[in-house]
């Protein structure tokens, strides 16, 4: 191929500018369809695409075993819906960038950042927050272990760490050092109470094992 042919081929290639790229991705974003739970409000969009919003939609969230009805804009995160609409304020907003873990909640058994899940996406799913742990005035073993081991200072990260520890022990009842490192790797403590937090995990694992053993003996 001659150099003139190569130049002509290059000239015929489509040029993708930053503006055109953003236009394309913007159109793609508008075309996204989010599944709705029964009763949620939506309107028909172009070519059969379901468009939600910008007005508020009626949704129901299962928070700590209780159905909670509310109306939110599609852009509202699960964290904001919990705190601002349902007054469930255990999960904290700190970085709001899915970095610190202070907003951690358990969604269908999986630890997630509340600031990175849309409220409408959490419909029909089991949401557990730190408020669900204490029962009949008794702290959950993880909560008690945090107190016993002085695993908190300012407290902003504590609810997220408690939920991360619970999730870790739910999946790894006898965690190794690597399990702890990986299980808590998504949560940050500006006060640096990591030594106390690791000790709390060890204590909670022991206490929860005793509870399981006692329960097994009663059932036997």
CATH number at residue 199: 1.10.150.120
User: Does some domain include residue 42?
Assistant: no
- 132, 150, 182: which is the final residue of a domain? 132
75 plus 98 within the same structural domain: yes
The count of structural domains within the chain is 2
User: Does some domain include residue 107?
Assistant: yes
The CATH number for 67's domain is 3.10.20.30
Provide the CB-side half-sphere exposure for 218 (13 A, CA): 6
How much is the mean pLDDT over the chain?
A: 85
What mean pLDDT do residues 147-172 have? 97
Residue 54 has pLDDT above 90, yes or no: no
User: Does some domain include residue 126?
Assistant: yes
User: Does some domain include residue 147?
Assistant: yes
120 plus 85 within the same structural domain: yes
191 plus 128 within the same structural domain: no
127 plus 168 within the same structural domain: no
- 132, 164, 198: which is the final residue of a domain? 132
55 plus 119 within the same structural domain: yes
Residue 164 has pLDDT above 50, yes or no: yes
pLDDT band at 34 (very low <50, low <70, confident <90, very high): low
pLDDT, one tens digit per residue, over 109-151 is 999 999 999 999 999 999 999 999 999 999 999 999 999 999 9
User: Does some domain include residue 199?
Assistant: yes
More confident: 114 or 20: 114
What mean pLDDT do residues 12-19 have? 52
128 plus 145 within the same structural domain: no
Rounded to the nearest 10 degrees, how much is the dihedral formed by the CA atoms of 174, 176, 179, 180?
90
Tell me the residue range of the domain where 60 lies: 51-132
pLDDT band at 21 (very low <50, low <70, confident <90, very high): very low
pLDDT band at 213 (very low <50, low <70, confident <90, very high): confident
- 105, 132, 159: which is the final residue of a domain? 132
């Amino acid at each position: 191929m001659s150099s003139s042919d190569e130049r002509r081929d290059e000239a015929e290639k489509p040029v993708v500018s930053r503006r055109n790229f953003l236009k394309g991705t913007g159109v793609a974003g508008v075309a996204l369809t989010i599944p709705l739970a029964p009763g949620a409000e939506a309107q028909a969009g172009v070519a059969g695409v379901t468009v939600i919003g910008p007005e508020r939609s009626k949704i129901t969230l299962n928070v700590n075993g209780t159905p909670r009805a509310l109306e939110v804009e599609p852009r509202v995160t699960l964290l904001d819906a919990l705190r601002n609409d349902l007054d469930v304020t255990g999960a904290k907003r700190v970085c709001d960038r899915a970095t610190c873990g202070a907003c951690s909640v358990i969604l269908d058994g999986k630890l997630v950042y509340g600031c990175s899940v849309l409220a409408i996406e959490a419909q029909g799913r089991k949401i557990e927050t730190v408020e669900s742990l204490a029962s009949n005035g008794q702290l959950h073993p993880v909560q008690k272990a945090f107190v016993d081991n002085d695993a908190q200072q300012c407290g902003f990260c504590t609810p997220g760490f408690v939920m991360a520890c619970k999730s870790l022990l739910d999946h790894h009842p006898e965690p190794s050092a690597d399990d702890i490192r990986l299980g808590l790797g998504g949560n940050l403590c500006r006060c640096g109470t990591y030594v106390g937090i690791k000790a709390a995990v060890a204590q909670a694992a022991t206490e929860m094992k005793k509870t399981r053993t006692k329960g097994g003996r009663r059932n036997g």
